[in-house]
Chain A
Amino acid sequence: MNPKLDEFFKSERSRVFEPGPYFTQRVMARLAGQLAAHRENGIWNEVVAGARPVFALAMVLLLGILAVQLFLPTMPDRGPIDAVLAPEQTEGEHLIFTGAEPTNPELEKMIIITEDGQ
């Protein structure tokens, strides 16, 4: 290497700053304040700075969906008129609950399917 550069690097080796007498106290004081702030920020600090907007958007969407689920009533599958008009039990269910014998094989098959479905 260039001898002048060698000289330069040698001179750089001797150029060193030493910590001042109160450096440790200053670090500890700054640490106490910043660690407290760090803990207050919690999870936010764990997220990489670049990913924070995405993370925030994901959180807003998640909370939005949860809010919709919680506060909007779910619509019933059938209305009150349908519910009145529809029979309470199917023919198969009626036979199961009353213990009557099925009158034809078709009905027996329906009962088996109903039981399997349950």
Chain B
Amino acid sequence: MSFEPELVIRAQAGDVAAQEELVRQFSPMVFRLVSRFFRHREDVEDLAQDVFFKVFTRIDQVRPDENFPGWLRRVTINTCYDELRRTRRRNTAFEIYGPHQDSEPVAAVEVTTDPEDFGVARAALEALDPKLKIPLILKEVEELSVAEIALSLGITQTNVKVRLFRARKKLAASLASLSESRR
């Protein structure tokens, strides 16, 4: 992607045309990243808007010589992380305080309705803690290197490796138990 750092300088000065151009250039990248973590188009669009709002309220923090796409990726991932944590808290609260249902658990329902038969894997991935889920998706789906993930998440490379190891282990365990419950 050809990107002119001058656009960022103009956007920092409040140039609306430059801001619009940044949105136009980078919205496919933001959409692709957010799509990795959320499955509904409305959620993806809302989060992408949140990302750009954050970007333009904090654009003064970007130095013109800094890698703007890298910074934008960090903002996007952090926004997704915050939303995943909020969703997880809401779901946990619902499980504890929500109406009790005698029906099958959600994961099992997803398994039977998934046309591609990836329902078990998807449910296992959904059940992962965002701290583990994000590095795993960035590595396996987004195909980022450990160094890039570390930079994006603001953690050390060792920490990324530890999280990846734990994520794979947990994923394998919950995959096994979900497959078991499917039978």
Contact = CB atoms under 8 A, between A and B. Distances in A.
A116 B53 CA distance: 65
A28 B121 contact: no
A78 interface: no
Contact of A24 (B27, B53, B57): B27
B49 interface: yes
A110 B13 CA distance: 68
Interface in B4-62: 16, 19-20, 23-24, 27-28, 31-32, 34-36, 41, 44-45, 48-49, 52-53, 56-57
Contacts of A18: 28, 31
Interface stretch (B65-73, B89-97, B145-153, B168-176): B168-176
A35 B16 CA distance: 12
Given A28-B23, A35-B57, A16 B141 contact: no
A16 B52 contact: no
Contact of B16 (A15, A23, A28): A28
Contacts of A55: none
Report the contact-size class of chain A (Cβ under 8 Å from the partner): 20 to 34
A8 B56 contact: no
Contacts of A19: 27-28, 31, 45, 48
A30 B20 contact: no
Contacts of B3: none
Contact of B19 (A2, A28, A34): A28
A5 interface: yes
4 closest residue pairs by CB, A with B = A8-B121, A19-B27, A9-B140, A17-B35
Interface of A: 1-2, 4-5, 7-9, 11-13, 15-20, 23-24, 26-28, 30-31, 34-35, 38
Given A19-B45, A27-B48, 8 more contacts: A5-B175, A7-B118, A13-B141, A15-B35, A17-B32, A31-B52, A34-B53, A35-B57
29 contacts: A2-B172, A4-B121, A8-B118, A8-B122, A9-B140, A9-B141, A12-B137, A12-B140, A12-B141, A16-B31, A16-B32, A17-B32, A17-B35, A17-B41, A18-B28, A19-B27, A19-B28, A24-B20, A24-B24, A26-B49, A27-B49, A28-B20, A30-B49, A30-B53, A31-B19, A31-B52, A31-B53, A35-B56, A38-B57
